Structure 1
């Protein structure tokens, strides 16, 4: 709507399964999202309400602080059960070298806290490499190639160092920019 204010809302359906004999059905969902702020500070929310069950399906709220040297955010997710604090710092704009960190704490479900640290670097103007590791012993990498001006090819992988019996995840995607 404006440079520093925006809202959106919508109505959709969510599929559910009642049981093997009763069949499947759909619940109507109403969604509202909004953000207000400036180039320095912003505050936003995302709310989904299940009309049939008369419950909030999703509730997220967040705020961010953006300065020329650091971007930080604080988010409440999972119906206000999980809090995330994150920061991002660009070190070299020419090579797009940057570091980031996130601290996530889930209070009611399992009381777990996870710290994630990541970095990115562009080897060439058309190749970006990202890597991150967290305290749950998961390591992720991503290589993104800009093949043409509007075609991106991404290859990514995840290794769970604690789960020796699990197969690592590998992905490949192609994106077209408009």
Structure 2
């Protein structure tokens, strides 16, 4: 599919719009304003064939040297997420984080906690656990600049009779 994309970037704001070159294009737009410490943004997609918005999300983000916190409204306004990531050790990239997500339509909450640690400048391990019993982990190694191999896995501890998910990813950059 061909499309036209327009972008405007400023020190404290940016906007990007893309329009599909079809008879009934989808128009996608994203906007962000902010500085080094705080950013507010949003995105939406409008399907001209149906006359409906197919995507709309918004977020507020705070960044400091030792933490990142954010508040996001996603899934077309159905999910509200709040998250916090705290850097414990910048040297080893050790961090801990948590996210709480509330689905408005299902009236369901999900609480996720996670951590990451770099064993060396090239090898990172990450793990997460949520209140629904899903446990996931990954090991990622960069053997040359921008070339990565990642091994990941996820298991539902409340349904151990189901198969675990295992993944292998290879990224090669020249």
Normalising by structure 2, we get a TM-score of: 0.90
| Residue-by-residue CA offset, 1:121-161 (whole Å, 9 max, x unaligned) | 01122110000000111001010001112311111111011
Q: Which residue of 2 aligns with 1:6?
A: 14
Query: Is 2:80 the counterpart of 1:72?
Result: no
Q: Name the count of aligned residue pairs.
A: 166
Query: Is 2:45 the counterpart of 1:48?
Result: yes
Q: Which residue of 1 aligns with 2:148?
A: 152
Gaps of 5+ in 2: 1-8
Q: Which residue of 1 aligns with 2:160?
A: 164
| Residue-by-residue CA offset, 1:79-128 (whole Å, 9 max, x unaligned) | 111100001111101111001110000012x1110000000001122110
Residue 124 of structure 1: which of 120, 134, 140 is its match?
120
Q: Which residue of 2 aligns with 1:21?
A: none
| Residue-by-residue CA offset, 1:150-178 (whole Å, 9 max, x unaligned) | 31111111101122332111111111346
Residue 137 of structure 2: which of 130, 134, 141 is its match?
141
RMSD: 1.7
Gaps of 5+ in 1: 15-25
Output the CA distance in 1 between the equivalents of 2:20 and 2:163.
36
Q: CA deviation at 1:48?
A: 0.5
| Residue-by-residue CA offset, 1:34-65 (whole Å, 9 max, x unaligned) | 10001111000010011111111010000011
Normalising by structure 1, we get a TM-score of: 0.88
Q: Which residue of 2 aligns with 1:37?
A: 34
The 3 A distance-change label for structure 1 pair 61 and 148 is same
